[in-house]
Structure 1
Amino acid sequence: MFEYYQKTNLENWLENLYIEHNILSISDLTIYNVADKLNVNVIFMENAKEVAIWDDKAAAIFLNPEKLEEEVRAIFFHELCHPLRHYGDQVNSVRTFMTLQERQANQFMLYASMPFYMIKKLDMSTYNYQWASFLSYKFNVPINIAQKRAEQILQRIQQASIDQVIREQRSTYKPSNDPSEWSTETNMIMNKLYRQIGCKQT
């Protein structure tokens, strides 16, 4: 089912990081475990502004415990991107650069909260590609986040499948330069072309 899925460079990087730190299964994806393995401090504070603060020596992520657990998890994996992938701080960043970082963090969140190497171990065959609810339940993330990940995976599988069919067709297609082997449609097109350029077909 997943043989056509193509991982991005970011996915490969994150997968290697997780495996290097022994984050191997869904049960390893708790906030405290991931934070501890990756040397990030997590601070729960009521009404806290959910944000990551980091420098070259340390990193901390502030989370609001009053929110639903699945929402807190999504925020954590979003904020985790900043100390792991970004340099400097957002406070002194220009707005366009901050926007770029936030987009990157949103993409990172999908990979970090639902790593593909964990997804492909699950039995998804009985869900007929209706994966969002299943992923939301298994990885404890909001349904809209799971829906984005499911759509992302399916789109890549479909695109890779189409690309494979095109490659196979191209490998078996042999264009001919012999007019006697041309189809009627090809002959009509070529005759029209010859008339336009004032040449005779040989």
Structure 2
Amino acid sequence: MVYYFSHLEEEVQKIYESLGFQEPADINMIEIARYFDIWIDYWPEESRNINIRGLRTILLQEGLCYEEAWTSFAHELRHALKHVGDQNRMHYLFREYQEFDANRFMYHFCMPSFMLLQIDPFPTFKETVFYLANLFKVDYKFAEKRYIDFLNKKKAQLFAYC
């Protein structure tokens, strides 16, 4: 079956290919930040992205486990790369759009489709999700949601292009 990538999936794949990342073990938050010239720091409040005079910084909430820090980083990375403006001063609908976009990016960035396509599923769904959560360093619920979305897209394409 041929898999048709969305624009977002292609964008994520291009980012990883430009970094030389071809498999989950290659993914490295520090290298990604360095590539985009973004600083990572920690602070006691919720994770956020700031840009002061061109110095882009992702502030990750202190005390997050690695899986939470990684997904927060991916969410804030989208804001750093694609979004402008102070969310406190923008119309709530535009703020909601930016959050929706950052969340969508987060799922695809943390578990890229081009890497998921390389993985053979286990006999059961739960085993596969557990494996993917460990492989991509995300929590089980995150992996479960992303894998369900991925399978649904594959299924939809199968029926759409028969």
2:58 maps to 1:90: no
Q: In structure 1, what is the equivalent of residue 28 of structure 2? A: 30
Change (3 A) 1:59 1:135: same
Q: Distance in 2 between matches of 1:11 and 1:55?
A: 30
Q: Detail structure 1 runs of 4+ shifted over 6 Å in the superposition.
A: none
**Aligned-partner Cα distance in 1 for 2:24–2:14:** 16
CA distance in 1, matches of 2:112, 2:156: 20
Larger radius of gyration: 1
Query: Where in structure 2 are there 5+ consecutive unaligned residues?
Result: none
| Alignment partner, residue 71 of structure 2 | 74
Report sequence identity in percent. 24
Residues 1-202 of structure 1: pairs in structure 2 closer than 5 A = 3-45=1-43, 47-54=44-51, 57-124=54-121, 126-130=122-126, 131-165=128-162
Q: Give 2:41's aligned amino acid.
A: I
Number of residue pairs aligned between Structure 1 and Structure 2: 161
Return the alpha-carbon distance in structure 1 between the equivalents of residues 54 and 151 of structure 2.
39
Deviation at 1:55, TM superposition (A): 6.2
Alpha-carbon contact 2:25-2:135 (below 8 Å) kept: no
Q: Is the 8 A contact 1:54 1:89 kept in 2?
A: no
SS at match of 1:122: coil
How big is each residue's C-alpha offset from its partner over 1:58-113, in whole Å with a ceiling of 9 and x where there is no partner? 31111123122111111111111101121233232221111110011110001111
Instruction: Specify which structure has the higher proportion of strand.
Output: 2
Query: CA separation in 2, counterparts of 1:128 and 1:153?
Result: 16
Question: Greater relative contact order (Cα 8 A, min sep 6): structure 1 or 2?
Answer: 2
C-alpha separation between the residues in 1 aligned to 2:124 and 2:158? 17
TM-score (norm 2): 0.88
Residue by residue over 1:24-61, the C-alpha shift from the partner in whole angstroms, topping out at 9 and shown as x without a partner, is 3322322212111222110023x233101136833111
Q: CA RMSD in A?
A: 1.9
For structure 1, the residue ranges without an aligned partner over 5 or more in a row are 166-202
